[in-house]
Structure formats: structure tokens, C-alpha cells
Structure 1
Amino acid sequence: MIVGTAGHIDHGKTALVKALTGVDADRLKEEKARGITIDLGYAYSDLGSGHQLGFVDVPGHERFVHNMLAGATGIDAALLVVSAVEGIKPQTVEHLQIVDLLGLDRGIVALTKADLADDDQILERMAEVETLLSTTSLAGAEIVPVSAITGQGVDELKAKLLALGESGKGATGFARLAVDRCFVLAGAGVVVTGTVHAGEIKVGDHLLLTPSGLEARVRSLHAQNRPAEVGRAGERCALNLTGARLSKDAIRRGDWVVGPELHAPTDRIDVRLSLLASEGQPLKHWSPVHVHLGSAHVMGRVALLEGDRLAPADSSLAQLVLEEKIGALTGDRVILRDPSATRTIAGARVIDPFGPPRNRRAERRLAELAALAEPDGDALEGLLRLATGHLDLARFSRSRNLRPAEVEELLQASDGVALAGFGFLATTLAEAKQDILETLKAFHESKPDAPGLQAERLRVALKRRWPAPVFQVLLDQEIRAKTVVVDAAFLRLPGHSLKLGARDEALWQKMSGEMVRDRFKPPRVRDFAQAYDVPEPDVRRILQRLAKIGRVVELAQDHYFLRPTVAEMIGIAHAFGRDFTAADFRDKLDNGRKVAIQILEFFDRQGITVRRGDYRRTAPQKLERYGPLPPVS
């Protein structure tokens, strides 16, 4: 377990940590000279029987609260230090506020310098501390008088710290370590230190740094100040990292070392925010703040989602809009300080680390946040029951650091179904299927001579407006089940087909035969009309109807080609394997320069070919627009 000190400057935090561990946590020359802790210090106490406590000694000076916060967000329990001589001071209060806002409910109060106070003073201080704690997460915490000089109460304090239990950090998720120091060690290279917030890190692991995305391999590691093969959640670790672009200057306090699955930097974080009761005035919408999350410290603004002002002691949904991207996950605790960084003003718990840039106050979004605020299982079920009707499983698992198997278990417990990366309730899938089929049926009944609906028109015609990627997943399922048929660019029910009348069908059979025989230079509308003594509008009407269902393609005005022929001609153009001219293409088709140019100009408009002067080249991504390319002899 990691224990963090808290308390006012010169109340004896560092001396107490040394008495508990034998280690002087002041590591900087300036700290030694000035007699105060400026940056984070670390020490470890081996208590035998496999028990070891790690201590984060934080600064007590108001100027270094930002350093205190870098260490506080990784601790499991608080050791609040109060001088028996001086009692409660400003940083005692602010540090306790921070502990409370971080939701730390495990802790002990050390009443230091007990050898310099009489019994009455100690009783008076204990009463003052109890009153101070009564409205915080440490209400009822034990108070132990100690002296780092005489050793009074030190053993009792160790025993009570051990009794607090082990770290509660999640061991099942992917690896996640908050970097609070980075340095270069002679003979080893880049070393980062920090607290493992989740999962475990092994020697040889390939990890990423967030937000930079730099790749790093763990060459070796120390866990709780000892060489180890594995560092686990709840332990302080030092990682010796190596990577092609890795350097000391490329890593900073506030970065995360994470499994690749968790690399998702964000600058919009939706939270439940609580303003301290001690604030003298409401917090306004879009107020600038200092944001502390993990060991990161960035500037940002508060976008309130439930009004334009937040009164002291109240809470509200809010979005933190940051000036820099950071790593964040659901459940992370955030501390906010005022624009001048002179006082702590609020705390927050991350509900969704990937907040939307628009419609953040919309009723649908607020309902989504209400569901996301619940524990994992309840959140997943709640999201599936919302009007949106679906859940992006990858986004959900990443935001909560859940492994695929865990998400699958939660989905099954909620009677949910996974489909191509999205989660649905079984009832929702049944409703979606019915909606698709009924919409197509209604369209066929209203327009029996139409071939069907194009995909986007079907999507917007449904009762529930699905996002395009989700609709495609639902549609693909129906296509695989053959309850919906794809007919060229149209979707239809299996029993529906576009039928020509007997007279039109007879004419089409004659025309299609000619279009097959002279496929690269088929007759035009007027040619068919003259050949079969039929009015041009009748020929044009038939070919236009056939073009709607994709049997023919109009490459130039009144000049139609069979769809397979268009795919064949695209294959011929692609087979050049180089830039080619209209003359090259004409010679392959043997259909005359004018028709060859009309075909190529159609390809240009469709993006199938790219023209540069007299030369063209096919665009690979558009080659199968009119069907698979047949082999070219």
C-alpha cells in the first residue's frame, strides 16, 4: 500500500517518515539547505512477513501544493500530520480538503512533536482534529501522538497503518503508471518512477507513453525499491525504459505509461464536480482553472452542464476543456485550483474521459452521463436501455480499463448481445430488424415500380435514427440472413423485384443482346429506336429504369453500357499498370476515339481515373465501384 503524508510545513512529515522507514525522503540539496520538502520524496518500510509500506512525502508549503498533488493522486491512504504544538494550520486544512476531494477514506492522523506538548495540549489538539475531520472522508480516523525524536508512538503508528489493509487499486485491467519523475541513470538510461494505478507491468513489456504516443520497452524495473520482474497495482515502481525515440526530455511529470489498449489522449473530460463549501462565491460557467489529474497539471476551463453557476458545497455535471491532452479514465479523481493557483476550489470524479465537443448539454447526453456515472455493470445496462439503443464496446472498455472478457461478462449479465464491436439488448436487435423490414415493405407498397431504397435513404427513414456505422452493422446482419437483398445500389425485400411489362421486356431482350455483342460500343438510344421502330422516349424510359437498379450504366447522354462491361473496361484501364493515353485505351477496346474519350471522361468524373495532361492512371480505391474486375487477357 502507498501512504501519502499531508499537512502544514514544518509539522514534521519528513522526520516522521524517516522514523517509520529509516529513510530521509528529502532528496534535493535545496531541500536540505532550506529544511523544507519542495518536491516529492519516497521511502519504504519493510515490516516483515511480506508486508511493506511505501511512503510519498509531499511538500507542506503552499507554494508547492502542485507538487503535493502529483503525489497525492496515487496514494491508497493518508497520513495527516498535525503538530501537537502548533495545531491546525492553513495547509493542514487544504491538504485535508484535497484528501477528501480525492475520496480517500483510509487514513490516520499523526499528532507529531508530542514530546514538546503536555497532556492537556495533546487532548485539546485531538479534539480540534476530530472536529476538523468530522465532515470529511477521514471522519473517525484514529489519532496517534508520536515523536520522531523520542520514538514515542512510532511502533503503534506502524501497526495502525498496516491494519488499514492492502491497496484497493484494480489488478485486472491493463497496465497504467502515473509518471512523477524522469531521469537518466548512468549505465542504464531513461528511468521513470510513479505509482501503478492498474494492472501489472513486466520486464520486457512493450508500452506506450500517453499523451505523446512514444513506444517504450521495459528493460528492468524496481517495485517498492526492490529489483523485480513484475510491478503491480498499488506499488511504486521505477521503470528503466528503452525506445527508438525515447529521451529524458521526451517524458515529463503527468505522462502515463500504459498498455497500448489504454492510449487515448483526451482534452475534454466529463465529470461530476463538487465545489468546496469554503468558496465564497459561485463557480461560473467557463471559469479558468488549474486541473490536476494523476500527476498531470494543465490549464483548462469548466463548462457547467446543469446551469451557468455552481454554488459553494453543491455539485454539478461539468466538462473540463483542457489546453493540453492528457490521459484519463473513468473513476479518476481530479482536483481544481483557482486561476492564480493559490487555493483548492473543487474536486471531481471522471464520468467519461472522452466528452463530446458539441451537444454536451443536450438531454440525450445528460441521460447518457447519468448512466455512465454508475458502476460498470449498471452503466453498461443503463446505456443499452437509452434511446440511442447501442454501445460502442471498445470505447466503453477503454474508458473503464476493462478487458474484453470482463465486458463480455457484463454484457451477458445485462442480456446484451455483441455485434461487430457494438452492444445491443436482444430486444433492441429484434426491434431494429422489424423496423428495417417494415420500412422496406412500406416503400415497396407505395412505389411498386421502384427497385428499392438506397442504404442512406433507408437509414433516415427508420423510426430510430442509427449512426451510420451502427446502421451498417444492423443491415449487414439482415443481408447475411437474406431477409434483405442487395440489388446493385438498392436494398429490397427478397420477394420484390422490378419487372418490366411484357412489351418492354421483349424490347429489352433485343437491346441487351446487341449490348452484349458489341459491348464496348453499344448502340445509343436513337439507334435502338430506329432499329426497332420504337419512339425514343420509350427506349430511354426502359434504360433509365434499368439504370436505377444497376443493370446498365449511362456513361454519356443516351449512351448506356451493361454494368459488367463497365467493370471489364475499368479492369482494362487498370491492366496498363502505368500512365496511359486515350489512344492506348481506344486501341484496347477498338471502339473509336470519340467513344473511348467519353468512357474515360466518365471514369474521370467518378474518380476511377486521375488525369494529368494527356495521361491517366487508375485510382486503386475506386476500381470495384461497378463490381469485381474480371480477368484481363
Structure 2
Amino acid sequence: MHVIATAGHVDHGKSTLVRALTGMEPDRWAEERRRGMTIDLGFAWMGLPSGETVAFVDVPGHERFVPNMLAGVGPVPAAMIVVAADEGWMPQSAEHLAALHALDVRHGLLVVTRSDLAEPETAIELARSEIAGTSLGDVEAVAVSGVTGAGLDDLRAALDRLTGRLPAAEPGPVRLWIDRVFTVKGAGTVVTGTLGAGRLRTGDELTLGDSTVRVRGLQSMGQQRDEVTAVARVAVNLRGTPRDDLRRGDALLTPGRFRFAGLVDVRVHGDPVADLPAQATLHVGSAAVPVHIRPLGTDTARLRLSHPLPLRIGDRALLRDPGRHHVAGGVTILDVAPPGLKRRGAAAARAAQLTSMDAHPSLRSELSRRLLIKGADLAAMGVLLPTPSSEPMSPADAAAGQPVAGDWYADPDHWSALGGRLGEEVAAYAREHPLEAGMPVEALRHRLGLPDRILVTALVRPPVVVRNGRVVAGPTGAPDELVGLVGKAFDGLGAFAAPESYDLAALGLGARQVAAAERTGLLLRLTPQVVLRAGAVEEAVRLLAALPQPFTLSEARQALGTTRRVAVPLLELLDRKGHTRRLPDDRRTIGS
């Protein structure tokens, strides 16, 4: 299916033309038919000579209903601009064209109606000259009469040619902007919209604001469907969702793939930024949201939305000044999570940065600005992340394409600099706290300004290691001075000799130093007063395994060459660790 919106001045025959083409009544409301003009959006569809199907979003032409018109045009890739031959180009023709240009609609067709009432050439010439200077460019023109049917076959052929030029639908996530909400007896709440990307299936779970909703049923072109693929007009029956919870401008979304943004930086295409009003209305999809405008650069601004919308980098939207009934221009979303501007000079620096941003969500460029960010947040902004099935990426994106830890992505240069800083911070902490067994991971996280502990662990490289929640330099993490004191205390002693506390203190190993040596693994504490050098447990197991099994305490003491003061607590430690097993007769054997 292809979807085309009508556009043009009130009472120029848009609905009559759609009715003549499709045989369907696009004006749904009795009030519309009574007054003879479209008030809200209408929908109809038809088959083309090629076998393709085109659906029309028929929009109101009256100035008072421009917001309704914009809700219909917003998600649609092409437009059929309708001008009456007997009236020619009119004010709403110009405003509708300005809206299409602001939304960067690039595919269109000019249809001059009422050719039975006036010669169409003048109207065609003037309308094409107006259209030529916009994003639509040079469009094909067809003259018709909705009353007599003249030219309708030519129009069908022109529509076939137009739809043949439309780009293929994007395979991305679903963002269905809701343009109508109603209730069907026996089915419940139904919403309609133009599906511009992705596919919908019965049973899908979608996000609606903060809620999760389930698709109960789908309908397209009046037929029930199990699946609908973009581009298409679609009606979605939502399970268990009250009608009052929905309104035009809401969006059904693929979970986790969009970011609700209340503050965005944009590039403005239209009026000079300096001439924009402080307040305007932002139209995107079918939504219309009041915004406050803060100029930044010559063509860039910051918009503060009255309520957040699901926006992505590269989205196109429209700014309108409703007080002056004026389309101020289009905007392209450059950033959906912009930095604060509280410091002096921050606004000027941000304006300079925005100048180089092209609204194409690149992994490398986003990382260079954000330094560290989760992949889920990047994907919600519209950034393509590498997967086995993803499109080929630029060399710069591919170089930054792997997460550094968990779902965290990092700018390569920033990540390398963090690794260097980590070693410096650990060394500085060791100098400031010589008796501690390394720097606590959480303290190091704060010093490096990292948002997650796993990033600290991912940055660690030998000889720096993580041990017992601390980051230490070298095999033990102990200061050289402490290593030297312990070596001196045990110099010339056997593996199972335990120096007295006063001897240790005389060497500079007081209670704090001994505790630090124990934390770093330089010493093994058996009792408050008995410490051995590191490796005593492994050496004891080796020597005891050589004894005839089982063995007594006395035999163990002799094999270890130590005293009861050391042997008793050492054997008890071996029992607790499972290296030895104590028998009922107090003898022991190696192993359990």
C-alpha cells in the first residue's frame, strides 16, 4: 500500500475528488456532510492500474482546521495538491504548501479540479511555479473534473507513476502516530494511523506512554489482518485499553526503541531563528505540542516541549505560530538528550557544536559528544548499533561498535584516557593510604566520574588487578615499604616460625601495619598473637601429605618444625578449610 495526503484550499474539491476516485465517502461526520466541507481527517483507498493500492488521507482545507490538516500530513510520504481551476492559487493553498515544505515532503502531484468550469492552464502554470521552489520541486500536473469524471483515468495513471517513485518503507521500529480514536461495540478501543515503518502483528506488545498495550486485532483497507507492513493505513484494536486513555498525537511504539524527549536541539528551515516567536506549536506526526523556543545559532534553537514526545535524531517536524496562522518553518531534530546550558558561554559553545551536526545518527559522532552511554539509549535516539544482520557501517562507527562493558559504549579516545587515569588514581591512593590494600572500587568510580562499577572493572589491566572489592597495583597491592618490613621480620626464620608481637613492633610492624599486611595477603593470622608469612597453608599441606596417614599433632609439629603455639591453630585452620580431617582419636588425615 501507498499513502498520500490531500492538500489545498477549502472547497477546492479535495473530498469530491477522493470520492470520485475511490467510490468511498471520506467525510465521516454528519456535520461535515451537512456543511459541505471537511472538518477532520477522512480516509479512503483504491486500486491503481498497476495493481498497487493507494490510501488517501483527506485533510480539511479551512484555515481554522489547519492543526487537523497537519495531523494527517505529518506521517505521510507524499501529497496530492488540489487547486480549483476557477479560483486558482489561494491562501490555504500557500499555507498547505508551506507545511509540506516544512515537513520536507518530496513526492507530490498537482491536480487541478473543476476543469469543466474554467480552463485549467492558468491555474496549473501558477501552482507549478509556487510548488517548484519547495521540497516537492517540479511536479506532474493533471486537470480533472470530479463532477463529469473527465481526466480521472489520467489521474489514476499519474498516481501510479507517483507511487512508483516513492521510497521503500523503512524496516525499523514501529511508531504509529494516532490520528483517530473510537470505540467499536464488542471490540473495544480502536486507533488509526499511518504506519510509516516496521510491521504490526496481532498479539504484539507496544508501548503507549508509560503503559504497555497489546494488539488485539488489525484492520487495513477494511479487511482483518494478522500482520500489516509499512507503509499502510491501519486500524489497531487494543486489548483492555480505555478510550479515555488515548488521544490524537499519542503514539504506539516498539518497546525500548524511542526516547521521550521534553527538550530538543533542532536545526530550523524557514524563518530566521532570531525572528521566531518565544512560543509556538510543534507539529510532528499527528501530535501538536506547545513549545518554548530558545535561539542558539543562526539556524539552530532549543525547544522545550510542554510534554515529552517519542522523538529520534533526524526526525522532521514543523513550527507554527498559531496566533499569526503562520508556518514558521520546518525543524530537523539534532539532539533528543541535549546538555544543560547553565555555565557562562555554554549556549555559544553549544551553537558552535550544533553547526557541525548533520542530523544523521552516527555511533561515532554520538560517542564523541557523550563519551559514555548505554546501547539502549543510543538505539532509542535512532543510532544504528552493529548486529550480525545490521547494515554496513562506516569505518569510524565500526571502530566504536563494540560495548566496553555490559551495554556501555565509550568513545575510544576517552576510554583510553580513562585507562591511563585509573593507574594514576590507584598509585596516588596508595601513597595517601599506605596501609590500605588498594583503592575501593566505588571510590575509584567517583574519582573517574563513571556511572557504573562495571566500567571500573573493565578498565583494569595488568599489573593492576581487582581483589576483594579493591583495585590494587602489582601482585599484592601492598606498598613496597610494607613488603620490605614483612620480609625483614621473617628473614632467617622457618616457614612456620611466628615472631612475637613485640619483635614485630620493634621492626615497625605495629597493629595497623600487621592488619594491612594481612589484608594484602603478606601475612596469615592464626590467632590475635600468631601470624605466619604468606604461603604457610599450601606449604603445610604439602609437608603433611608426605607423612604416614593418619598423623598425630606431635607428628605434624615435628614435620612442620614448629611449636604447639603455631601447630594447634594452624591444624584447626586446615580443618576448617577442608585440607585435613580430624578423626575421633584426635589424629588427622589429609583431605576430607
Report the TM-score when normalising by structure 2: 0.76
Give deviations 1:570-605, integer Å, cap 9, x for gaps: xxxxxxxxxxxxxxxxxxxxxxxxxxxxxxxxxxxx
- 1:258 CA displacement: 1.3
Within 5 Å, which residues of 2 pair with 1:397-416? 397-400=379-382, 402=384, 405=387, 410=393, 414-416=398-400
CA contact (8 A) 2:386 2:398 kept: no
Q: 1:239 aligns with which of 236, 240, 263?
A: 236
How many equivalent residue pairs? 510
The question of 1:56 aligning with 2:37 is answered: no
Q: 2:287 aligns with which of 287, 292, 296?
A: 296
Give deviations 1:261-302, integer Å, cap 9, x for gaps: 23542211222122337x9x8125xx1111211111121211
SS at match of 1:87: coil
Q: 1:274 corresponds to which residue? A: 269
- 1:39 CA displacement: 0.1
CA contact (8 A) 1:330 1:352 kept: yes
Q: 1:320 aligns with which of 273, 279, 303?
A: 303
- 1:305 CA displacement: 2.4
Change (3 A) 1:367 1:423: farther
- 1:411 CA displacement: 7.7
Name the CA distance, whole Å, in 2 between partners of 1:234 and 1:258.
Answer: 16
SS at match of 2:180: strand
The one-letter amino acid paired with 1:382 is S
- 1:53 CA displacement: 0.3
Name the CA distance, whole Å, in 1 between partners of 2:415 and 2:303.
Answer: 35
Within 5 Å, which residues of 2 pair with 1:130-209? 130-165=128-163, 167-168=166-167, 170-209=169-208
- 1:33 CA displacement: 1.0
CA contact (8 A) 2:180 2:193 kept: yes
Change (3 A) 1:185 1:356: farther
SS at match of 2:28: coil
Could you tell which deviates more after superposition, 331-340 or 427-436? Answer: 427-436
CA contact (8 A) 1:443 1:452 kept: yes
SS at match of 2:333: strand
Give deviations 1:218-239, integer Å, cap 9, x for gaps: 1211123332221112100001
CA contact (8 A) 1:193 1:239 kept: yes
Name the CA distance, whole Å, in 2 between partners of 1:63 and 1:493.
Answer: 72
Q: 2:42 corresponds to which residue? A: 41
Name the CA distance, whole Å, in 2 between partners of 1:335 and 1:228.
Answer: 33
Q: 2:572 corresponds to which residue? A: none
Structure having the higher Rg: 2
Q: 2:358 corresponds to which residue? A: 373
Q: 1:229 aligns with which of 220, 226, 229?
A: 226
Name the CA distance, whole Å, in 1 between partners of 2:74 and 2:145.
Answer: 27
Give deviations 1:539-594, integer Å, cap 9, x for gaps: 56547867997999xxxxxx9xx9xxxxxxxxxxxxxxxxxxxxxxxxxxxxxxxx
Name the CA distance, whole Å, in 2 between partners of 1:155 and 1:502.
Answer: 98
The question of 1:351 aligning with 2:331 is answered: no
Q: 2:319 corresponds to which residue? A: 336
The one-letter amino acid paired with 2:451 is P
The one-letter amino acid paired with 1:392 is K
Q: 1:29 corresponds to which residue? A: 30
Q: Name structure 1 gaps, 5 residues minimum.
A: 307-314, 509-527, 553-558, 563-629
The question of 1:422 aligning with 2:408 is answered: yes
- 1:156 CA displacement: 1.2
Name the CA distance, whole Å, in 1 between partners of 2:262 and 2:276.
Answer: 21
- 1:396 CA displacement: 1.7
Q: 2:378 corresponds to which residue? A: 396
SS at match of 1:262: coil
Give deviations 1:114-154, integer Å, cap 9, x for gaps: 11113xxx332222112212321122112211111122221
CA contact (8 A) 1:489 1:549 kept: no
The one-letter amino acid paired with 1:188 is A
Name the CA distance, whole Å, in 2 between partners of 1:541 and 1:78.
Answer: 80
Q: 1:493 corresponds to which residue? A: 473
CA contact (8 A) 2:379 2:385 kept: yes
The question of 1:2 aligning with 2:14 is answered: no
CA contact (8 A) 1:380 1:410 kept: no
CA contact (8 A) 2:333 2:359 kept: no
- 1:434 CA displacement: 4.0
Name the CA distance, whole Å, in 2 between partners of 1:371 and 1:451.
Answer: 47
SS at match of 2:380: helix
Name the CA distance, whole Å, in 1 between partners of 2:408 and 2:163.
Answer: 39
Change (3 A) 1:451 1:232: same
Name the CA distance, whole Å, in 1 between partners of 2:483 and 2:105.
Answer: 79
Identity %, equivalent residues: 32
Q: 1:260 aligns with which of 230, 255, 258?
A: 255
CA contact (8 A) 1:221 1:230 kept: yes
- 1:340 CA displacement: 2.6
Change (3 A) 1:374 1:27: closer
Name the CA distance, whole Å, in 2 between partners of 1:197 and 1:411.
Answer: 26
Q: Give the RMSD, CA atoms, in angstroms.
A: 3.8
The one-letter amino acid paired with 2:151 is G
Name the CA distance, whole Å, in 1 between partners of 2:173 and 2:269.
Answer: 29
CA contact (8 A) 2:102 2:270 kept: no
The one-letter amino acid paired with 1:298 is V
Name the CA distance, whole Å, in 1 between partners of 2:430 and 2:16.
Answer: 83
SS at match of 2:171: coil
The one-letter amino acid paired with 2:465 is V
- 1:473 CA displacement: 4.1
Change (3 A) 1:388 1:101: closer
- 1:248 CA displacement: 0.7
Could you tell which deviates more after superposition, 389-398 or 448-457? Answer: 448-457
Change (3 A) 1:502 1:65: closer
SS at match of 2:163: coil
Change (3 A) 1:390 1:363: farther
The one-letter amino acid paired with 2:48 is L
CA contact (8 A) 1:44 1:53 kept: yes
- 1:15 CA displacement: 0.6
Q: 1:475 corresponds to which residue? A: 456
- 1:44 CA displacement: 0.2
Give deviations 1:511-542, integer Å, cap 9, x for gaps: xxxxxxxxxxxxxxxxx99x99979x985654
Give deviations 1:135-187, integer Å, cap 9, x for gaps: 21122112211111122221112211221235536432122211111111112
The one-letter amino acid paired with 1:4 is A
Give deviations 1:428-484, integer Å, cap 9, x for gaps: 6555434433554576579876654444664576xxxx64126x44421244x5542
The question of 1:283 aligning with 2:276 is answered: yes
CA contact (8 A) 1:270 1:317 kept: yes
Name the CA distance, whole Å, in 2 between partners of 1:393 and 1:372.
Answer: 20
Report the TM-score when normalising by structure 1: 0.71
Name the CA distance, whole Å, in 2 between partners of 1:59 and 1:547.
Answer: 81
